[in-house]
A and B are shown apart, each in its own frame.
Chain A
Amino acid sequence: MPVTPFRWFITASGSYAMIRQPIPAWLFWSLAVSGIVVAIAIYAGMSVYQTRINPTQSVIPGLKGFAEGFDLITKPRGNDKNPKPSWLVTDSKVTFSRLFIGMGLGTIAAIVLGIAMGAYTGVEAFFSPIISFMAKIPPTGMLVIYMVAFGTNFKMFIALIGFGIFFTMVQSIYQSVKKDVASDHIDKAYTLGASEFEVVLEVIWKQILPRVIDNIRLHIGPALVFLIAAEMLFASEGFGYTIRQSQRFSNMNVVYIYLGILGTVGLLLDYGLMRFRRWLCPWFGE
């Protein structure tokens, strides 16, 4: 039987094609890079095709378009009398401060209530129905309520992100307290003379910590969605504001760069938190 390229490929890769079969690092990274290259190649093909139809198109910009977009967002604004930073600097400061403060407050509140619900049945009984109900409501559908309660300024964005992640995070944390912390660990701590506070801090908190970090990782994406949606409607600065305005004026090169920055920051935060969890809780494993 002649050795066709297809047959050669099947033979060569056969041992790696089995379920859960590990592959060598060189192959893993080659495939990872290939995926990115294929995605870029598809985009480049679409850009070339659109440019042939309309040489001035800006919907799927090429390299030149992206260079112009980058110039647009990094150019200092204002005038000699009233100099202002570039869009990128202004929007980054505003958006990421809203994101971090909102996520920070939402996470702290969720940890406190989640542990209380997981540890004390009375607290669980009181909060469980309302938390379960609120967790199912999309926060972006309640934008107007946030506006009524918190106005249209900084507080509203913080509240939206904080409450947006709070309810689902509380559910995860309290489930973690109930299931990941063995009762005999708590009993042993009490037997050894630990106080209530020490049990919470030394037994419960330390055991759920990796779950909390994973929860923060999972909530970065939703928090960004809530924030960008709110900034599109209510903000006069920030990524959501600039994305909306740029869409209106067909500056898609700016939109794509901003989306790329958001994706990259989200990815870096996710990766950083994962490394942090591995460093802080090596016992938890990968």
Chain B
Amino acid sequence: MKIQHVTVLGLTCLVALSLGCSSSKSGSGGAASGGSDGPAPVFSLAWSEYPSWSVFGVAEEQGLIDGAEGAMGSIEEKWNVDIVLHLRDYDTCITEYGSSVADAVCITNMDIMSPSISRPAVAVLPTSTSDGADACIVVGIDNIDGLAGKETLGLEKSVSQYCFERVLEQQGKDPSNFPFRNLDPGEAARAMQLGQADIQSIMVWNPFVLDTLRKRTDSKVLFDSTSIPEEIIDMLVIGKDSLGKPGGKRFAYAALEAFYAVNELINSSETRDETLVALGAKFSQLGLEDMKTVVTQTKFYDSPEKGLGLMEDQKFQQETMPAVAEFLVSHEMAETKPTFGFNSADSQLNFDSQFLIGIRDGVDPASVE
């Protein structure tokens, strides 16, 4: 009997040890080991399902990136970096970035501001901008005046509320007359689709916009993000600390190259449909027709030139980003504004265009540290 107990105890210890060893191997990235000829340093990228971020999932399917640790896709081999993809819920992506579990994150220009105060961030790639993908959907309300005093449901302190208030301001309305109540966007869409009598207005993003309009036939878009072009920006952001590690810049270049490689597939008439289907499979299981709509409402920065165009745009630099920072403080998302700048290494949030320029000019991987 005693031998049996000892055996069970021993086996339990062995299992625990082996689990411990395997989990220690899968820790977060940045365990870099040197230049392009040495072993590939590991970097992690947290992404959630969104049209221009699911591109990284498609890149994995295409063999450009292998999201598992220790395995390399063609672009990873070219740049000698091992990119580990973390597919997560959006909030979890932000938490992974803020807690340094992930080296890089797919995030919006508004949501990165607060985390960048504690973990300085470098925006290396604008991936897309919302051009109708965020919408206020209503039932039984004919115009904006009719919305006054009625509750709109959506994720508070997010791009939804930002878009909601910015459009109202543009229309000369006072947002304080238009109550906005917090509800997870998926649940808000579901509540409206279920026809709950007290829910007349929601502010959500795709795929919930498309889904709600399809399932609640008497609903309509009252206004959307087409009124505020290039204000809501989806981006790839890398931690300044991670970028500074050996191989950090190669990681940035590899991520950009993978993004543009998939964009080429989307833009090519021969591969467009199958790539959109693949993208849709990683974005709420949407089919081809829905994805064709989605990519018109989410405009991709599908070339380095377009990405540079945004980063160098004076309106974006002088008006949009300051307005976003103001929104952050006025809505108690942060006590202070983060410092942000363009090609300004000392800023907490730095929009750095060197990687876009490098990819545009065909930088040689061997010349990058």
Q: Which of B183-191, B210-218, B310-318 lies at the binding interface? A: B183-191
Contact indicator A151/B91 (Cβ below 8 Å): no
A248 to B191 Cα, complex, angstroms: 24
Contact indicator B94/A248 (Cβ below 8 Å): yes
A195 to B58 Cα, complex, angstroms: 74
Q: Verify if A250 is at the interface (C-beta below 8 Å from B).
A: yes
Q: Verify if B267 is at the interface (C-beta below 8 Å from A).
A: no
Contact among B98, B181, B334 for A59, CB-based, below 8 A: B98
Question: Nearest-CB distance from A41 to chain B (Å)?
Answer: 21
Contact indicator A245/B157 (Cβ below 8 Å): yes
Contact among A59, A148, A152, A249 for B100, CB-based, below 8 A: A59
Contact indicator A144/B190 (Cβ below 8 Å): yes
Closest to B186 in A: A233
Q: Verify if B196 is at the interface (C-beta below 8 Å from A).
A: yes
Q: Which of A50-58, A133-141, A272-280 lies at the binding interface? A: A50-58
Report how many A-B pairs have Cβ atoms within 8 Å.
79
Contact indicator B191/A233 (Cβ below 8 Å): no
Q: Which of A15-23, A183-191, A234-242 lies at the binding interface? A: A234-242
A54 to B244 Cα, complex, angstroms: 13
- Residues of B in contact, count (CB < 8 Å): 32
Q: Verify if A264 is at the interface (C-beta below 8 Å from B).
A: no
Question: Nearest-CB distance from B281 to chain A (Å)?
Answer: 24
Q: Which of B61-69, B115-123, B162-170, B355-363 lies at the binding interface? A: B115-123
A252 to B95 Cα, complex, angstroms: 10
Instruction: Kindly supply a per-residue 1/0 record for chain A positions 225-265, scoring 1 wherever the CB is within 8 Å of any chain B CB and 0 otherwise.
Output: 00000001111100001001101111110000000000000
Closest to B197 in A: A151
Which residues in A have their C-beta under 8 angstroms from that of B156? 236, 245
15 A-B contact pairs sorted by A residue (CB < 8 Å): A53-B100, A56-B118, A58-B118, A144-B187, A144-B190, A147-B191, A152-B187, A233-B187, A234-B184, A236-B181, A248-B157, A250-B98, A250-B115, A252-B98, A252-B99
Binding site for B on A (CB under 8 A): 53-54, 56-59, 72, 77, 144, 147-148, 151-152, 232-236, 241, 244-245, 247-252
Binding site for A on B (CB under 8 A): 91, 94-95, 98-100, 111, 114-115, 117-120, 153, 156-157, 181-184, 187, 190-191, 194, 196, 198-199, 241, 332-335
A54-B119, A233-B187 given; 13 more Cβ-contact pairs under 8 Å: A56-B117, A58-B98, A59-B98, A59-B118, A147-B187, A147-B190, A151-B198, A152-B187, A234-B184, A247-B91, A247-B95, A250-B98, A250-B117
